[in-house]
């Protein structure tokens, strides 16, 4: 059987990290088994819909390098792939369930339901619909329908026994049928609920593996009852534990947590984000961390998905991003970093700008960091921080070094080799080496204790500015 996985986002405007992580697992699984990766848009809750969100989902998946085998833009015979365009399909299947006696029309008004809810609240019980409409006579139902009384269609749950859910990660889970609500399948506006639509679609689209958040695990008993009522084969369920934010809470936009686009705009490379996220809740058999997409696909093993939640750690993401930046060919790196570099370089040569950007290639964690890191190449006065000042005061030799270096560079030809020579002369003249040689020059010239190659830095700051700062 051909493996078919689907990514089924709701078009709510941004893609948060948890959603994307699920998409990654779905994609890797499909590719690993030479299957198909399908995009389905779950827009049945129209109140949450944000305009342009579908384009946005496409853009994100494209940036991540995911090839969508089927979806709204490429129907391969299982469409439509947007749930709001499938209303007739859901209606037909909901009515079929009514005929089979596994669902029923419910005409209860909002007031009646509120009374039931209040009663449940007063008894500190969760609200379960009491099933009164399941007992209506055929004649009464027909009469109500003829009168045009608004209705929903509810699933008729067994009241006793247990339903077993089998999940690849969590094993067998037994759910008591008595806690299952006669949930709504079709709303009065004709839209299906998520709980109904996902089953119909996964079946009709021949999805073999359903990967989704663990929060859906308990609901799956209801889905299984639907599959059984139709006599359909169930997919393999793979529920994945949550990705928690750095504060240990669920990741959310409201919490200010970054979405994929936020990260992208900050200068995180999509391949690095995908690599990092693939390891949130999944671990390869080896301790390799940096993976190309092909390596992720061949190493991905769904049985190694973790049962416990994982924590998003921006420092770790930065480490991955740093590796990807370091490994970019120079040309590609320059094109990329120039999107984030906003300093005024109108009085500099193209050569100077490229060299500046290149000396930071091994030092960057994310794109937008470039402006901050290069600040001292653009300001007149530099700030020397406390630690650097302390270093300068720690040994009288520091002053001798900067004075000697100043003299050495006064008349040299201005290039990196000559600057290195000058540093070497200071070393021989004063008989100093290591930290005591480099640090005073670096601190006085750039204001910082750490940075790219010293001679490159000095060269780019320029002779006049360096001499002025040294003095």
Residues recognised as catalytic: 253
Q: Is 9 in the site for ligand GLU (CB under 6 A)?
A: yes
Interacting span for ligand GLU (CB under 6 A) from 4-12, 31-39, 47-55, 363-371: 4-12
Name which of 38, 26, 352, 60 is nearest 201 in CA terms.
38
DSSP 353-383: HHHHHHHTTTT-SSTTHHHHHTGGGT-SS-P
User: How many residues sit in the footprint of ligand GLU (CB under 6 A)?
Assistant: 6
Choose which of 10, 195, 224, 310 interacts with ligand GLU (CB under 6 A): 10
Residue among 163 and 195 whose Cβ is closer to ligand GLU = 195
How many other C-beta atoms can be found within 10 angstroms of the C-beta atom of residue 44? 24
E strand spans, 215-309: 236-240, 243-244
Residue among 5 and 446 whose Cβ is closer to ligand GLU = 5
> CB of 7 within 8 A of CB of 22?
yes
* Cα pseudo-dihedral 199, 202, 206, 212, rounded to 10: -130
Per-residue binding string, ligand GLU, 160-189, x by CB under 6 A, is ------------------------------
Q: Which two tokens stand for residue 345?
A: 């370089």
Interacting span for ligand GLU (CB under 6 A) from 3-11, 164-172, 318-326, 376-384: 3-11
Q: Is 8 in the site for ligand GLU (CB under 6 A)?
A: yes
Strands 103-106 and 152-155: antiparallel
Per-residue binding string, ligand GLU, 186-215, x by CB under 6 A, is ------------x-------------x---
Choose which of 42, 70, 369, 456 interacts with ligand GLU (CB under 6 A): 42
> CB of 98 within 8 A of CB of 303?
no
- Residue 310: phi, psi to the nearest 5? -120, 165
Residue among 233 and 330 whose Cβ is closer to ligand GLU = 233
Q: Is 21 in the site for ligand GLU (CB under 6 A)?
A: no
Strand partners, 213: 240
Question: Which conformational region is residue 254 in: left (phi greater than 0), alpha (psi within -120 to 50 degrees), or beta?
Answer: alpha
* Cα-Cα-Cα-Cα dihedral sign, residues 111, 117, 119, 122: negative
Interacting span for ligand GLU (CB under 6 A) from 2-10, 133-141, 225-233, 369-377: 2-10
- Residue 308: phi, psi to the nearest 5? -100, 160
Residue among 10 and 402 whose Cβ is closer to ligand GLU = 10
Question: Could you give the CA distance from residue 235 to residue 310 in angstroms, rounded to a whole number?
Answer: 25
Residue among 7 and 105 whose Cβ is closer to ligand GLU = 7
Minimum CB distance to ligand GLU, residue 10 (Å):
4
Q: Is 220 in the site for ligand GLU (CB under 6 A)?
A: no
Residue among 42 and 456 whose Cβ is closer to ligand GLU = 42
Q: Is 460 in the site for ligand GLU (CB under 6 A)?
A: no
Minimum CB distance to ligand GLU, residue 158 (Å):
23
Residues that bind ligand GLU (CB under 6 A): 8-10, 42, 198, 212
């Amino acid at each position: 059987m051909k493996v078919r996985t689907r990514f089924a986002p709701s078009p709510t405007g941004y893609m948060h990290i948890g959603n994307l992580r699920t998409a990654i697992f779905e994609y890797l699984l499909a590719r690993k088994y030479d299957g198909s990766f399908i995009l389905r848009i779950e827009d049945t809750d129209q109140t949450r819909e944000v305009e342009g969100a579908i384009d946005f989902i496409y853009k994100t998946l494209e940036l991540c390098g995911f090839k969508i085998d089927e979806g709204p833009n490429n129907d391969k015979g299982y469409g439509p792939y947007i749930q709001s365009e499938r209303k007739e399909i859901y209606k037909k299947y909901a009515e079929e369930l009514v005929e089979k006696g596994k669902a029923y029309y419910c005409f209860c008004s909002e007031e009646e339901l509120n009374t039931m809810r209040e009663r449940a609240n007063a008894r500190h019980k969760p609200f379960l619909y009491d099933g009164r409409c399941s007992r209506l006579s055929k004649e009464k139902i027909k009469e109500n329908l003829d009168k045009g009384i608004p209705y929903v269609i509810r699933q008729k749950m067994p009241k006793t026994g247990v339903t077993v859910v089998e999940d690849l990660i969590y094993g067998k889970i037994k759910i008591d049928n008595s806690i299952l609500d006669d949930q709504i399948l079709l709303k009065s506006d004709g839209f299906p609920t998520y709980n109904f639509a996902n089953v119909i679609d996964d079946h009709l689209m021949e999805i073999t593996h359903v990967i989704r958040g663990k929060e859906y695990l308990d609901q799956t008993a209801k889905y299984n009852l639907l599959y059984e009522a139709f006599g359909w084969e169930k997919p393999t369920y793979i529920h994945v534990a949550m990705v928690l934010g750095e504060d240990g809470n669920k990741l959310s936009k409201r919490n200010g947590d970054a979405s994929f686009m936020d990260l992208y705009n900050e200068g995180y490379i999509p391949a690095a984000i995908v690599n990092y996220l693939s390891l949130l809740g999944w671990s390869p058999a080896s301790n390799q961390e940096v993976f190309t997409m092909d390596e992720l696909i061949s190493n991905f093993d769904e049985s190694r998905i973790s049962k416990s939640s994982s924590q998003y750690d921006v420092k770790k993401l930065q480490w991955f991003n740093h590796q990807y930046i370091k490994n970019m060919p120079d040309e590609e790196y320059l094109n990329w970093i120039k999107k984030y570099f906003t300093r005024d370089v109108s009085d500099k040569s193209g050569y100077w700008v490229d060299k500046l950007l290149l000396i930071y290639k091994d030092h960057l964690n994310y794109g937008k960091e470039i402006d901050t890191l290069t600040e001292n190449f653009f300001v007149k006065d530099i700030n020397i921080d406390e630690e650097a000042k302390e270093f300068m005061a720690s040994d009288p030799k520091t002053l001798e070094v900067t004075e000697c270096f100043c003299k050495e560079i006064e008349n040299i030809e201005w290039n990196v080799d000559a600057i290195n020579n000058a540093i070497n002369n200071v070393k021989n003249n004063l008989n100093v080496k290591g930290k005591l040689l480099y640090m005073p020059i670096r601190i006085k010239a750039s204001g910082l204790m750490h940075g790219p190659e010293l001679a490159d830095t000095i060269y780019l700051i320029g002779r006049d500015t360096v001499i002025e700062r040294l003095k």
